[in-house]
Amino acid sequence: MSRKPIIGGNWKCNPAKLADAKALVEAWKAKGFDKEKVDVVVAPTALHLGNVQSGLSSLGIQVASQNVGKNDMGAFTGEWTAAHLTDMEVAWTLIGHSERRSKYGETDEDTAVKVEKCQAAGIKVLFCIGELLEEREAGKTDEVNKRQIAAVLPKITNWDLIVIAYEPVWAIGTGKVATPDQAEETQAAIRAYIKEAVSAEVAEKVRIQYGGSVTPDNCAELIAKPNIDGFLVGGASLKPTFMDIVAASSS
Determine which one of 26, 97, 99, 201 is catalytic. 97
Q: Distance (Å, rounded) from C-alpha 80 to C-alpha 83? A: 8
84 is catalytic: no
Query: Which residue is catalytic, options 99, 131, 167, 184?
Result: 167
Residues 6+ apart with CB under 8 A from 134: none
Q: What are phi and psi of 39, to 5 degrees?
A: -95, 140
Degrees, nearest 5: CA angle 164-179-170:
65
- Of 224, 128, 217, which Cα lies nearest the Cα of 183? 224
Whether 13 and 44 have beta carbons less than 8 Å apart is answered as no
C-alpha span between 202 and 106 (Å, rounded): 26
Closest by CA position to 38, among listed 176, 207, 199:
207
Known catalytic residues are 97, 167
